[in-house]
Amino acid sequence: MCINKLERERYLFFGVLLLLFCFPWAASAQDQPRIALSTGAQKEVTVEKDGKRVTERIPLDKASPGDKIVYTITYRNAGTTIANDVLINDSIPAGTIYLLNSAEGKDAEITFSIDGGRTYSKPPIKYMVKNPDGTRKEGEAPAEVYTHIKWVIGKAVSPGASGQVSFKVGVK
């Protein structure tokens, strides 16, 4: 195959462009935050101690209707650079109902979805309710229709640093 001078210059030009654009990207891929997540679940029970009723968390081995379950997600920056605006998204487990006002997370903005995670907003979440007569009106979404929770950690997470977010559900 014979390549003329113009084609050779074009290959050289595109080769240099490829190096200029790809090499910094490949090098920076090594120096990125890497968020590692782990999830735990505990059952919340009320017990009597010293004549007082107190709430404790115990390991979750099985759940029954009416049980309260606490899900905790631990995040850690396992990368080599600071992570900004860390986003954690979790679905409400099937067979459970989110317990309103139970989501927590230090330095986190917490929003919720009622449409399978397509859109998020802060409570109270408004949606259209169909009345028995067929008319529609705006109503407040009950806990039963919450499908997902999203936390955006507003504080930078340094390499090696970690934190937790959590929420509670009731078992149906």
Higher-scoring residue by pLDDT: 23, 51: 51
Beta bridge partners of 56: 45
pLDDT, tens digit, 9 for 90 and up, residues 110-168: 999 999 999 999 999 999 888 899 999 999 999 999 999 999 999 999 999 999 999 99
Residue 40: both structure tokens together? 């735990």
Residue keyed to tokens 């009723």: 53
State the Cα–Cα distance between residues 13 and 27, nearest whole angstrom: 21
Share of the chain above pLDDT 90, in %: 78
Average pLDDT, stretch 92-103? 98
Give yes or no for a contact between 155 and 85, defined as CB atoms under 8 angstroms apart: no
Nearest-Å Rg of the Cα atoms of the chain is 25
How does DSSP assign 22-85, residue by residue?
HHHHHHHHHSS--EEEEEEEEEEEEEEETTEEEEEEEE-S---TT-EEEEEEEEEE-SSS-B-S
Question: In this structure, what token pair is assigned to residue 151?
Answer: 């936390």
Q: pLDDT band at residue 30, thresholds of 50, 70 and 90?
A: low
User: Is 26 a residue whose pLDDT tops 50?
Assistant: no
- What is the C-alpha separation between 93 and 146, in angstroms, rounded? 10
pLDDT tens digits for range 57-89: 999 999 999 999 999 999 999 999 999 999 999
Q: Say what the pLDDT of residue 31 is.
A: 80
pLDDT at position 29: 52
pLDDT tens digits, one per residue of 40-55: 999 999 999 999 999 9
User: DSSP 3-state assignment of 18?
Assistant: helix
Q: How far apart are CA 148 and CA 126, in angstroms?
A: 15
Is the pLDDT score of 6 beyond 50?
A: no
